[in-house]
């Protein structure tokens, strides 16, 4: 699958989309072809490598703070590895359990395999006698998008 870079109207990079999505953007006239492969065609149009939005999209909010917490984000941040044993993680675990006031935050959650999550249960890692192999951190946008690839 070919990835196409999307530029804002001021030529600042925004993100990448699939070739199919880029073609839809062009036909809806949301974007224009900025750079293309002249030797490859889709109908009569060259295959885009870079598209530029017709209208400027404000993105300041994205850089003012890190990404919002999500389960998928925690799994990506931890490379789908259990924070306790290092095996493949399928769930997330709260260092301070939710029943004790723990919240869904980057610093309170780690990826965990089902066995470790079950074993730790409703206790802190210290109470369960389980040491964390990693230190939970709040990822940047760049780190999280690189981890999801």
pLDDT digits (tens, 9 = 90+) for 84-115: 999 999 999 999 999 999 999 999 999 999 99
pTM over cut 0.85: no
Q: Measuring CA to CA, which residue among 107, 104, 131 is closest to residue 120?
A: 131
Domains of the chain: 3-58 (no CATH), 65-147 (1.10.30)
CA dist 111 to 26, 74, 106, Å?
39, 6, 11
CB-based contacts of 55: which residues, under 8 Å, 6+ apart? 9, 30
Q: What is the band of 147 on the pLDDT scale with cuts at 50, 70, 90?
A: confident
What number of other Cβ atoms are within 10 A of residue 48's Cβ?
25
């Amino acid at each position: 699958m070919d990835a196409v870079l999307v530029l804002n109207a001021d030529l600042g990079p925004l993100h990448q989309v699939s070739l199919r999505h880029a073609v839809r953007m062009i036909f809806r006239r949301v974007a224009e072809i900025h750079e293309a492969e002249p030797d490859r065609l889709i109908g009569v149009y060259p295959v885009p490598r870079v598209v530029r939005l017709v209208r400027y999209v404000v993105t300041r909010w994205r850089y003012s703070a890190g990404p919002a917490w999500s389960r998928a984000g925690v799994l990506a941040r931890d490379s789908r590895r259990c924070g306790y044993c290092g095996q493949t993680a399928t769930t997330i675990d709260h260092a301070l359990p939710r029943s004790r006031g723990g919240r869904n935050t980057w610093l309170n959650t780690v990826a965990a395999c089902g066995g470790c999550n079950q074993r730790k249960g409703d206790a802190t890692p210290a109470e369960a006698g389980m040491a964390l192999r990693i230190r939970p951190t709040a990822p940047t946008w760049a780190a999280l998008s690189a981890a999801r690839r």
